[in-house]
Chains A and B, each alone.
Chain A
Amino acid sequence: MIEIKNLKKYYGENNAIKAVDDVSFICPDGQITGLLGPNGAGKTTTLRMIIGLIKPGAGTVIVDGRDVTREPGKVRQLLGVQADATGVYTRMSPREQFRFYGRFYGLRGKQLEERVQAVIDELHMQDIADRQAEGFSRGQRQKIVLGRALVHNPPNVLMDEPTNGLDVMAVRQTRDTIQAMKKQGRCVLFSTHYMDEAERLCDNIAIIVGGHIVAVGSPEQLMQQTGQSRLEDAFVSLAGREYLTYSDYGSQPADGQALPVAGD
């Protein structure tokens, strides 16, 4: 389980740019939580603070009872992170890349080989497992990135826009994998700006705009809250006004006061 409490990250002179401002939400085990927001809303910054790549200005991130600021190494052991698909080693095969990442988590010998094979089977990569990744399609690269995140069998998985730029078949496979992870009891948190994806997959959704959370709930709750029948309409209703405001000014209002949320 991942608990995010009052997370803040400000940049610039006098902390004028509020990239993430007082963000709080919980991602339970065995559920898929979506972090939704337009481009530049603070999704990636929030994910990076959860991983411990960026030090929060304030607030805490607790992963399975461990504070990421105090025990970053142990927290990373509990996390599987699927970042962007461009970070693939083209001169290594998927199997070699999984071994490489597996060693970072203390896997060795037979245990490592078993986990690598399990990931290859789970992601249906048998036909490409031993080929160098040069020339792989984006979908195949995405599988490598996902496999690297899962090789140590983490109880919590973070994914940053996992279906971005994928073709229809690859999107479907990725969504199936996310569903499978939920069935395995993992806590899954992913960021996206595809509403239909969030509506299909997510048990909980946190909508972030201009660096702060404007609404949290299940897709049904958000639609009910806004009186809309589609999540996209609910999202626009919840985020639209704030998005326009932040787009005008580039950050949250200087006084830090939350704007009234549609549907409140």
Chain B
Amino acid sequence: MNETIVARQPGRWQLRWAVARQEMVNIARHPYYLVSFGIPIFMSLAFALFVSALGETDELIVAVYDAGSSDWAATLAKWEDVTVRMVESETAVHTALDDEATAGILIPAGFDTAVAAGQSPELVVYVNQEARNDHIAIVTRRLSDALWTMGEAPPPAMISWQETNARDGGLTFSVEEYIVVIFVILGICMTTMGILAQIIVEKRETGSLPALLASPLTFGDLLWGQSTAVFLYTMLLSAILLALNGGLVGNVGVTAVSIILTTCALLALGLWFGLWSQSKNQCNAYTGVMGIVLVIPSWFALVPPENLSLPLTVGLRLLPTTYLVELLNQSLNGTATWTTAGINLLVLGMFTAVFFGLVRWRLQRQPVW
């Protein structure tokens, strides 16, 4: 032959990334996979429409009682996307909070003068705990920005945060957060495991596996690449679902790590079912049942733990998604820190390690075909 090999042997990660790219195209062009990714998004949008049809409003209302005709109150009225309602008394602020306002601000008499004198006067801000988390986050940020426009160090005013309409003791988070949890878990469980298992089985069913393995690609590289593609799609889906449902609030870092760890655990399950199943139908049946089981913890997210029976509590503890529910609960309502979330993250990590250990064990005992 007058020409020889035209390229040098690629590295393992180059091979895996090549597979990941191909699988991402494959998934994007496959109607079934697209529908799988689209259903949680569609349901999420449909729910938002349903809620708005019931009369709930997306309007962000802040009630302001200005006891001393402060100039600063006028700057609040200029906030975009926020309806600022000037009320005549502190009582009217509470009435507004009981109705639909996200926050209430009491501006004391002589506020502007005290700020100018560097006395850092107290500014009482009521936060409606029944309001949407993203609305609370917006108000908090806007208020802070508005205060700092009045001066630099020392702080122009000391904000005294007061919670109103506190949730019942047993109810650990709001309905809005519950919806975020439901859709995120539904999205991950419906896509990650099932699609990964199916694209693994697909290679055997279509007969493309021998040709792939006749190249420098190993079976391990193939599984890595396929898992990477599904992981990236799951991350995209999760981000969309969080954004659509106001889930990008609270401790976003804990939310992200929780979702990543759960996705990894479900990828391991997808690998297991993909290696185990002989056909796509078989694969659908296994992952469908497993998906339903994994969604169950989200059903009980609004139920106080003490109200659950012991067998149910123990059963739920065996599912990785239980820990995701708890982590999302903490992170969305802003109570999560890396310390408080640490144990649940550790348990999720252990689930992931055990599942991948099982996959490795199976791979060592199972012929490629």
Contacts and interface: CB of A to CB of B under 8 A. Distances in A.
A51 B216 CA distance: 10
B5 A104 contact: no
A106 B215 contact: no
Contacts of B29: 91-92, 132
A106 B173 CA distance: 52
Contact of B10 (A29, A30, A104): A104
Nearest to A91: B29
A111 B7 contact: yes
B217 interface: yes
Contact-size category for B: 20 to 34
Interface string A80-91: 010110111101
Interface in B15-40: 15, 18, 21-22, 25-26, 29-30
Interface stretch (B205-213, B282-290, B345-353): B205-213
A2 interface: no
Given A53-B213, A84-B207, A86-B206, A77 B9 contact: yes
B204 to A, nearest CB: 10
Nearest to B208: A87
A224 interface: no
Contacts of B7: 105-108, 111, 152
B10 A152 contact: no
A165 interface: no
A70 interface: no
A138 to B, nearest CB: 13
Nearest to A158: B214
Interface string B278-319: 000000000000000000000000000000000000000000
Interface in A36-83: 48, 51, 53, 73-74, 76-79, 81, 83
Interface centre among A29, A103, A107, by most chain B C-beta atoms within 10 angstroms, is: A103
B10 A148 contact: no
A246 interface: no
A96 interface: yes
B8 interface: yes
Nearest to A96: B25
Contacts of B99: none
A83 B10 contact: no
Contact of A145 (B2, B25, B211, B213): B211
B214 A155 contact: no
Nearest to B11: A106
A100 to B, nearest CB: 5
Contact of A89 (B9, B14, B208): B208
B6 A185 contact: no
A107 B207 contact: no
Nearest to B214: A81
A92 B10 CA distance: 23
Contacts of B217: 104
B81 interface: no
Given A73-B216, A76-B214, A79-B214, A87 B209 contact: yes
Contacts of B26: 89, 91-92
A81 B212 CA distance: 9
A212 interface: no
B214 A86 contact: no
B53 to A, nearest CB: 38
A108 to B, nearest CB: 7
Contacts of B10: 103-106
Contacts of B1: 29-30, 155, 184-186
A88 to B, nearest CB: 7
A49 to B, nearest CB: 12
A18 interface: no
Interface in B168-200: none
B3 interface: yes
B9 A107 contact: no
A197 B208 CA distance: 26
B366 interface: no
A51 B217 CA distance: 12
Contacts of A79: 214
A29 B7 CA distance: 20
B240 to A, nearest CB: 23
B9 A185 contact: no
A153 B216 contact: no
A154 interface: yes
A208 to B, nearest CB: 19
A148 B15 CA distance: 15
Contacts of A111: 6-7
B207 A73 contact: no
A87 B8 contact: no
A104 B18 contact: yes
Interface of B: 1-10, 14-15, 18, 21-22, 25-26, 29-30, 206-217, 368
Given A100-B21, A108-B7, 7 more contacts: A29-B1, A30-B1, A77-B5, A88-B208, A89-B26, A103-B14, A105-B10
CB-based closest 8 A-B pairs? A87-B208, A106-B7, A81-B214, A185-B1, A103-B18, A86-B207, A106-B10, A91-B29
24 contacts: A73-B216, A77-B216, A79-B214, A83-B211, A84-B210, A87-B206, A87-B208, A87-B210, A88-B206, A89-B206, A91-B25, A91-B30, A100-B22, A103-B14, A104-B217, A105-B7, A106-B9, A107-B7, A152-B5, A152-B7, A153-B5, A153-B6, A155-B5, A158-B214
